[in-house]
Structure 1
Amino acid sequence: MKRSSEPRRTSAVSIQHGDEALAARLRTLLGGRHPVAAAATISPGERRVAGLGADAGADFEIGSVSKGVTGLLYAEALARGEIDRTATLGDLLPLGRCPAARVTLASLSVHRSGLPILPRSAGLVRRSVALWRHGANPYGDSLDQLIVQARSVTVGKPRPRYSNLGFELLGHAIAAAAGVSYRELVRARIADPLGLDVFYAPAIPAELRPGALTGVSRFGRERQPWTGEAVGPAGGIRASIEAMARLIAALLDGSAPGLSALDPTTRFAGVAGRAVDIGAGWITLEHEGRKITWHNGGTGGFRSWLGLDRAAGAGVVIVTATAMAVDGPGFTLLTETAGRNASRAAAELTAETDRR
């Protein structure tokens, strides 16, 4: 396969693909602020995919939606018996006797490990400045560098605390248990079995596909791709909209691995009086009277949102090559998709009743 270290530049060109009605709705929901974006909606008997500003084969950074993928891989590793709920990072990664070695994978999967968001030794201030001034990638570390950073981390009390570091370590520990790299684990257990042709975790820019997009800040400034071996499990996966649509379908029809990751097991937070629960990486909350399982993502130049209304059998994903949140449009589109499904089911029931 041909590889390219230069992602394709995005522009507000008049490219549109897929379902015309969905493309029009996406354009309305995003309000013209996202010239390059795509969406997919899945419900019983209906699959719609559409994109704006790029072709169907373009791949986007999905950011922290990668954590949801790592959650699936964690649950699958449990099911295979490769790990158990008492497994620690030190059992699987060369951390020596540092405090992080005693952290359990189970606590990492629900963001209750006591690990910080990121290690101080990673030079966060310097990297942040480089990102905002020059669009530089702040997450280009190798796995060896991640291990060195983890050895110096102070572990706090096990309370709910979102941790990129935690999910980086979780993903690499799961991969170590399987005897492969994280990138290989994604391919072998998610991408290949589900037929996700464009779904991968590039460790270096040279591993980007020819269809890789370049994201931009909310002000239109280009950002370097967030490639990095270390960050893969927490935010390093790239995917096309077609691949994301197939992933949603697999999550809904039960063919995806590690489905127990979607089931909430722990209270994560309370937001505006609403309970927020978490499974293995996946958030569950009530929205307009429906239980929604979801995760969002953000990198220097991309945003993403994936949500499931499992009771209605409906799912939605939105990805965009502009660093502006799409959570609101995501929840709205999922509500509309689940509502159409409910209306269609009611109409079918009425028709069946009339025939009788």
Structure 2
Amino acid sequence: MLRTPAAVQDAERHTAHNYHPLPVVISSAEGAWVTDVDGRRYLDCLAGYSALNFGHRHPALIAAAHAQLDRLTLTSRAFIHDQFADFCRELAALCGKELVLPMNTGAEAVETGIKVARKWGYQVKGVPAGQANIVVAEGNFHGRTTTIVSFSTDEDARADFGPYTPGFRVVPYGDLAALAEAVDEHTVAVLLEPIQGEQGVVVPPTDYLPGVRQLCTERNVLFIADEIQSGLGRTGATFACEQEGVVPDMYLLGKALGGGIVPVSAVAADADVLGVLKPGQHGSTFGGNPLACAVATEVVRLLATGEFQRRSAELGERLHAGLRALIGKGLVAVRGRGLWAGLDIDPALMTGRAACERLMERGVLAKDTHGSTIRLAPPLTITAEEIDHAVEQLAAVLAG
């Protein structure tokens, strides 16, 4: 007798229905593959929304976690622990920044970036108290706190969670003219995803990020890059911004930084930005804890080799070539960069949810978004043969 149906029902019975997961119950995993409670294996082409860039249970990351579990797991920031300095120093070097502020979740990193930008605006730029504004883009996804959903344009994420936090201006993504018009003397930051993940892996025009950088420099505004999904090797470079030759004033990092083991996020910037924070003004009990730092330091060291960025770039070409060949055969568009792709399925054929359900039946896990779009973000440890397998299964689904 299969265990999955009862396990799915049991989970649904005792949880708030804020997610609509596929009916698969995973019990173990290794590399790019997961196994359910009935022993069926699936190729994971979502990788925890990029939280599993290094695959499930990467040996170096598991070893770092085990070693730290035997020594020390938490101190709070009331004290300094022996893993903290290495993590902050090595992550700062990877980012080319002077300082790092460790947190836990991506949403915490975004909230931290917003607070730092406002404080910088008041203390450094000289914006009058309470007048700071931050410009963001339509289609954004930066998290789900009440402040962040206040500037979301996704009604599912935003509706019925008001009253909303003021101080944000929303402009079309990729539109430099609209951005320039929205920025005024009270603007403290422009907050953008270099590639919009939740929106369907939307890549902006090639001149967009360089134009944002130039505008922010000219107007004395911080450019904050939310690289929580796009960063740490996902697009074929350490950061998506660097593929356009752009260096933001602040990086927001998360997901893959925790190696798929613990939640780790961070804000990286120079001292003239992050230095505005003083003791007692911002913090997190678990932020920068020893276990998180031990794992995340190993993540930074894996990235420092450049191996995973190269794999993403090279295997990404293979993935996108295979997907583009399906345009006109059930796909109407393919977007993305590196091992990250958004696929628009012909809505007359099926929904994105239906496509993911049929892929699951064929042993491949993916996630839908916005109706007829699905996203692929396999671990950077995936092989060429596994990529070909995933594309073959998608082709079979589209062919009916």
Compare CA radii of gyration and give the structure with the larger one.
2
When the two structures are superposed, what TM-score results if normalisation uses the length of structure 1? 0.31
When the two structures are superposed, what TM-score results if normalisation uses the length of structure 2? 0.28
